[in-house]
């Protein structure tokens, strides 16, 4: 981020439950998470909120606002979070830093498109235990890509947020986590998670086909 300092604006830290931007707001910038985590949710016609994405350090926020020039969901902090703002207009031009930043943006957009396809496949075709196993495999991979342990990590989102994201009741998430512990696949302590058997978790996720990667 220091390399791209001239293209970004440092935003004040967000506190837990503080809104980064609201659904329907005019798109003007992307954001990159420096620390902490956020969730995105969209208000459905029924009035319910659907969690559509979680964002970890190093990830881009607001990619889905480019097309309609409006943010399709609200993004809130799950914990104290810092982000860098990347005004869209600063990505114009042929300066080497601008070109490199655009390349980062294209990679992020590609991952986001892949995520959307895999999430639809996961929700339509897979059982609850496969959904949850795939979710933790995806989180493990995301932490690994960012240089953190793929086996031990903390997730700031609640069981309810995870269930909403996967189309599962919170009771189902809690029951499955207990089952994963009994099967010695994972150990959970509050919001701290430890994967004990990564291959076993992967075999479970592949129970109805190839593993789905959500990150």
Percent of the chain surpassing pLDDT 90:
59
- How far apart are the C-alpha atoms of 64 and 43, rounded to whole Å? 15
User: CA 152 to CA 81: how far, in whole Å?
Assistant: 20
Q: According to the model, what pLDDT value does residue 215 have?
A: 45
User: What pLDDT is stored for residue 192 in this prediction?
Assistant: 95
pLDDT one-digit tens code per residue, 159-199 = 999 999 999 999 999 999 999 999 999 999 999 999 999 99
Question: Which pLDDT does position 205 carry in this prediction?
Answer: 86
Element (H, E) at 142: helix 128-145
Over its length of 215 residues, how does the chain's per-residue pLDDT go in tens digits? Answer: 555 666 677 889 999 999 999 999 999 999 999 999 999 999 988 889 999 999 999 899 998 888 889 999 999 999 999 999 988 887 776 666 667 777 777 777 767 766 666 666 666 667 899 999 999 999 999 899 888 999 999 999 999 999 999 999 999 999 999 999 999 999 999 999 999 999 999 999 887 433 444 44
Which of 13, 8, 213 is CA-nearest to residue 104?
8
87-106 pLDDT, tens digit each: 888 777 666 666 777 777 77
- State how far the Cα of 59 lies from the Cα of 37, in Å rounded to an integer: 9
Q: What is the pLDDT of residue 146?
A: 85
User: Within 10 A of 7 (CB to CB), how many other CB atoms are there?
Assistant: 18
């Amino acid at each position: 981020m220091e390399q791209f300092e001239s293209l970004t604006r440092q935003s004040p830290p967000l506190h837990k439950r503080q809104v980064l931007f609201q659904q329907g707001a005019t798109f003007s910038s992307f954001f990159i998470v420096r620390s902490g985590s956020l969730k995105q949710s969209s208000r459905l016609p029924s009035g319910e909120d659907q969690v559509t994405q979680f964002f970890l350090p190093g990830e881009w926020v607001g990619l889905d606002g480019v097309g309609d020039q409006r943010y399709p969901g609200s993004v809130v902090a799950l914990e104290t979070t810092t982000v860098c703002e990347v005004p869209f207009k600063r990505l114009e031009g042929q300066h080497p830093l601008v070109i490199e930043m655009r390349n980062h943006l294209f990679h992020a957009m590609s991952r986001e498109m892949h995520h959307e396809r895999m999430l639809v496949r996961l929700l339509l075709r897979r059982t609850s235990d496969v959904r949850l196993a795939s979710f933790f495999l995806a989180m493990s991979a995301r932490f690994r890509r960012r240089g953190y342990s793929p086996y031990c990590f903390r997730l700031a989102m609640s069981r309810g947020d995870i269930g909403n994201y996967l189309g599962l009741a919170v009771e189902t998430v809690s029951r499955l986590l207990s089952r994963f512990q009994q099967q010695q696949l994972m150990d959970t302590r509050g919001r701290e998670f430890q994967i004990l058997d990564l291959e076993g978790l992967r075999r479970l996720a592949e129970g109805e086909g190839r593993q789905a990667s959500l990150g």
